[in-house]
Amino acid sequence: MAIIDKPSDYFNSVLWTGTGSSNAISGIGFSPDFIWGKGRTNADSWFMVDSFRGATKHLRSDSTDSEYTRAQDVKTIDSDGFTVGTDDLVNKNTTTFVSYNWLADTSFSNDASSTGIGTIDSTGSANTDSGFSIVSWTGTQSAGTIKHGLSTPPRLILVRARTQDDGWYVWHIDYDASNNKYQRLEIAGGLGAGTHFWNDTAPTSSVFSVGTSTGTNHSSAMLAYCFADVPHYQKIGKYIGNGNANGTFVYTGFKPSFVFFKRFDTGKDGIIHNNKTFPSNQAVAKILKPNSNAVEADTGNIDILSNGFKLLSNGSNSNTSGGSYIYYAIAENPFVTSTGVPTTAR
């Protein structure tokens, strides 16, 4: 697979300050297919919008609320960003905001009975180069398989019912070899278990599996975001905390622009770092928690390095001795480009 020399062509974060009036947010570099954002200085919920469902259809990563329509939140998705309306959630006057933005790019529609791929029809949008897809299907509450649109097996999947008040169910390759474990994105919880979530089956290069649970296969509109490893660009894995300030080093093979991690052997908050609100390599970093409406905090201790990231505290959310953590990281730069140019730490 070719090295992605410019990761910001596929993922980019953007900052803005609210005005209270309709405001075009630009500078992403592409038309985003998935927008995940929050007010940094305002204790309000997250917003999650994608091009497949439409700009005004919102979900929240810190809530079990079903999909809702808000005409004055994200109003349109544009060629280089998006336009926000007058709602405080996205544009409160003088509040600073951040959004993380992914490119999916290519639409697909799969009639499972005709193609022989999966057992449940699905539609969506995918980018096989960057290992990201958006998938929608109508649940059956019977075990089945669903085309995810990627060329390699996803290592992280976020699933939820769109029109039901329920949570985000997270599958991660490192939870358990039995593939019957899950976490919830919207709470600070550890692992749950049951054969009825993923049908005890790992994703393949073409499909992922769901069971009979209403959380992953309700008899209504369902949604999944799928992420696969891409060398030099995107890495999904786990690390074990060492419990000291000279913390665990996590090798990714690139300098990260975005890092999400969450402890899974017990219930703790998820943590997000990004290179726009944390632009220098300092010990104390800005963090947001995807399961919380809390404002941005200076409580994340992390170094962003040329080939990974290093934890610099023994906090239970990030580096408890023996603690098990999943992570998802996206590159700012590959460690070495396709032309042999190395990157550097900040």
In a structure prediction context, what are the per-residue pLDDT tens digits for the chain, which is 346 residues long?
678 999 999 999 999 999 999 999 999 999 999 999 999 999 999 999 999 999 999 999 999 999 999 999 999 999 999 999 999 999 999 999 999 999 999 999 999 999 999 999 999 999 999 999 999 999 999 999 999 999 999 999 999 999 999 999 999 999 999 999 999 999 999 999 999 999 999 999 999 999 999 999 999 999 999 999 999 999 999 999 999 988 899 999 999 999 999 999 999 999 999 988 876 655 457 899 999 999 999 876 788 999 999 998 888 999 999 999 999 999 998 855 555 555 565 5
Tell me the C-alpha distance between 116 and 118, whole Å.
6
CA 11 to each of CA 27, 145, 206, 333: distance values in angstroms, whole numbers, following the listed order: 12, 28, 23, 11
Residue from 48, 43, 74 nearest 60 by CA: 48
**pLDDT value at residue 16:** 98
Residue 48 three-state SS: strand
Residue from 172, 202, 199 nearest 185 by CA: 172
Tell me the C-alpha distance between 88 and 76, whole Å.
16
Pairing of strands 34-39, 47-50: antiparallel
**pLDDT value at residue 301:** 77
> The tokens of 24 are what?
């075009």
The one-letter amino acid at 84: V
Tell me the C-alpha distance between 59 and 240, whole Å.
31
**pLDDT value at residue 245:** 84
Per-residue buried b or exposed e for 23-37, using 16+ beta carbons within 10 Å of the residue's own CB: bebeebbbebbbbbb
Secondary structure (DSSP) of 166-190: ---EEEETTS-TTS-EEEETTTT--
Q: Name 189's Cβ contacts closer than 8 Å, sequence gap at least 6.
A: 183, 267
Backbone angles phi, psi at 90, to 5 degrees: -120, -10
**pLDDT value at residue 281:** 58
Tell me the C-alpha distance between 80 and 95, whole Å.
22
The one-letter amino acid at 101: N
**pLDDT value at residue 71:** 94
Tell me the C-alpha distance between 67 and 222, whole Å.
11
